[in-house]
Structure 1
């Protein structure tokens, strides 16, 4: 196969922030080229390639760092510093998440009803008589726990999905239930998300040691607000930006949670074995391990979190998770891929576009030291065809 190199210089721009000329050697000599072939062609600074065909870029010179932005959604150089969308640019805005469980479901008719999860929202719209959630103090548990429960009992929390839809959830991510809420009309209206685990504070259905039932474990996956913009771009704000606060209703008697029975002789509790994992702030804290009835938020930055189950020999737990008011227009900055640093000697980079479209592939090339930071940007249009 015949190949050649096209030097991509036409769309390059320079951005220098140097105070001295020291250690700039090599940056002025940097250039980017693309290897052309029968399936990768070039006309000026426009590259045409069939989808699924790798595009190979070559580098000359001595750059310290190279970051690549493919031009695809979420990876566009021009949006690398964007943290908020313009409200007028938003076509649609939806809160999305998946939910699944671990454990056996029992129906209400069995007397061992295991569904103990609710997902709520609230917003403020005084002109139409809608009262928003006033917010947590985060330093007065009695007041905060009373506030969320009273707000529920007054019917002010609104369901995202009817509770009955959580009666028999799938037990892994592939069969998780997908939930969605249109939130476009809530921009600027103090949208708050609340998740209640056993909000009724139901006890374990055990009666005289019979029908003892495990309280379910619930997983939330990919919780985010997805905004579709007028230019067909899509941005995401994941649950890590919602600033959730946990409310642990059982924090004052963690070591008195077993259910007693003369025949079975249940003793002890389900907290002693994990005491070393408990947070300093038992009322509001979260955990990094499996602790019954407490929220694990390790993966919340990606929209994932869970609350651990309680064994059948123990009293059921109650816990809430309540967000701060959510700024719906917020979004994650677009990300590039670091393909070279000081410890690497990279002379080429290959990337494959899987979808038809037109993309602005961008390389941010930097030389940096303690005295200055010089950068150079190379951009090329990649036209991907069938």
Structure 2
């Protein structure tokens, strides 16, 4: 029995001994034809060595090696844009106090689809920051700034609330549509890039519909728009919410490089043109890799580009 148990152990030991360690491509080198140049010049890079992969980071916006693993940063601004249209008797003369559409933001909503979760959260009314429609003609909201709603790496939620008491003598029956044109967008603006968190009603995830009062009427989420059909005058009070998915405002895309060499592409040189003046830190990453491990060598240049 013992000799049968010994064989698997020997095979494992032999496998470990035969495993080849991945070593960095220490013979890799890069030479640049020049490092001080103009936007009209072409720089030529020549390679020596034979790594499995070569990746090029130009040092330009979105292509910086030091930002390759970046996931978050403080944005310079965060802007919500959307459009609305509406219908109402004497809509152009209707007092603003009767406007029954509101835009709100919460930093502590738990994402639930029940009334208790909705009412437990703190909601900030930002309706005054937007321009809302008064007729059936779609009106763009303008730039609705959300910098004061930054919540670190925790999400915020954007909501549209319809609130009306149709039983009162001053009741004004109104149908509201949010979107589709101009489309709803939510964007975080950083120094060198923009992260679009939502490009329309659908991608904003505004399909968490909660009816607080009068469940017979609610928001309709379809075709990149939200629609609330006006209830009949004399009907019960309405309170209905359409709430977005969680939105993390400080999310930023990681920078990425250009793969110059892999298993199928094996260049011996590379040329590049910088289109704007500035100082750029160029990085080449040469890497050897197997199915489990990798080892790399990094080569860097600083380029000064003028017009």
TM-score, length-scaled by structure 1: 0.51
1:50-69 Cα offsets, whole Å, 9 max, x none, are 12544343333322222222
| 2:88/2:175 contact within 8 Å kept | no
Q: Is residue 2:114 matched to residue 1:159?
A: no
Take 2:178 and 2:205, find their aligned partners in 1: how far apart are those partners?
Answer: 21
Which among 287, 299, 303 is matched to residue 378 of structure 1?
A: 299
| 1:75/1:336 contact within 8 Å kept | yes
Give the total of aligned pairs. 264
Take 1:341 and 1:116, find their aligned partners in 2: how far apart are those partners?
Answer: 59
Which among 20, 28, 36 is matched to residue 48 of structure 1?
A: 36
| 2:91/2:134 contact within 8 Å kept | no
Which among 96, 101, 104 is matched to residue 79 of structure 2?
A: 96
Q: Using the TM superposition, give the Cα deviation of residue 235 of structure 1 relative to its aligned residue in structure 2, in angstroms.
A: 6.5
Q: Is residue 2:158 matched to residue 1:194?
A: yes
Rg larger in 1 or in 2?
2
Q: Using the TM superposition, give the Cα deviation of residue 171 of structure 1 relative to its aligned residue in structure 2, in angstroms.
A: 7.6
Report the counterpart of residue 307 of structure 1 in structure 2: 225
Q: Using the TM superposition, give the Cα deviation of residue 381 of structure 1 relative to its aligned residue in structure 2, in angstroms.
A: 0.8
Q: Secondary structure at the match of 2:279?
A: strand
Which among 107, 115, 120 is matched to residue 142 of structure 1?
A: 115
| 1:51/1:354 contact within 8 Å kept | yes
1:96-144 Cα offsets, whole Å, 9 max, x none, are 244357xx66577349x9x99754334xxxxxxxxxx542262x52323
Distance 1:199-1:374 versus aligned 2 partners, 3 A rule = same
Take 1:108 and 1:355, find their aligned partners in 2: how far apart are those partners?
Answer: 56
Take 1:367 and 1:24, find their aligned partners in 2: how far apart are those partners?
Answer: 7
Which among 17, 27, 30 is matched to residue 29 of structure 1?
A: 27
Report the counterpart of residue 217 of structure 1 in structure 2: 179
1:176-231 Cα offsets, whole Å, 9 max, x none, are 843323339x56697734131x523799xxxxxxx99784534223x23335xxxx
Q: Secondary structure at the match of 1:345?
A: coil
Report the counterpart of residue 197 of structure 2 in structure 1: 239
Take 2:116 and 2:175, find their aligned partners in 1: how far apart are those partners?
Answer: 31
Give runs of aligned pairs for residues 1-386 of structure 1, distance below 5 A. 27-34=25-32, 36=33, 42=34, 47-51=35-39, 53-85=41-73, 93-100=76-83, 109-110=90-91, 118-122=102-106, 134-136=108-110, 138=112, 141-147=114-120, 156-159=123-126, 162-165=129-132, 177-183=142-148, 192-196=156-160, 199-200=162-163, 215-218=177-180, 219-221=183-185, 223-227=186-190, 234=192, 239=197, 246-249=207-210, 293-294=220-221, 306-307=224-225, 319-322=241-244, 324=246, 326=248, 328=250, 331-386=252-307
Q: Using the TM superposition, give the Cα deviation of residue 331 of structure 1 relative to its aligned residue in structure 2, in angstroms.
A: 4.1
Q: Using the TM superposition, give the Cα deviation of residue 346 of structure 1 relative to its aligned residue in structure 2, in angstroms.
A: 3.1
Distance 1:28-1:99 versus aligned 2 partners, 3 A rule = same
| 1:99/1:220 contact within 8 Å kept | yes
| 1:117/1:163 contact within 8 Å kept | no
Report the counterpart of residue 15 of structure 2 in structure 1: none
Q: Using the TM superposition, give the Cα deviation of residue 378 of structure 1 relative to its aligned residue in structure 2, in angstroms.
A: 1.3
Structure 1, unmatched stretches of 5+, are 1-18, 37-41, 123-132, 204-210, 228-232, 258-291, 297-305
Q: Using the TM superposition, give the Cα deviation of residue 373 of structure 1 relative to its aligned residue in structure 2, in angstroms.
A: 0.8
Distance 1:220-1:381 versus aligned 2 partners, 3 A rule = same
Distance 1:200-1:236 versus aligned 2 partners, 3 A rule = same
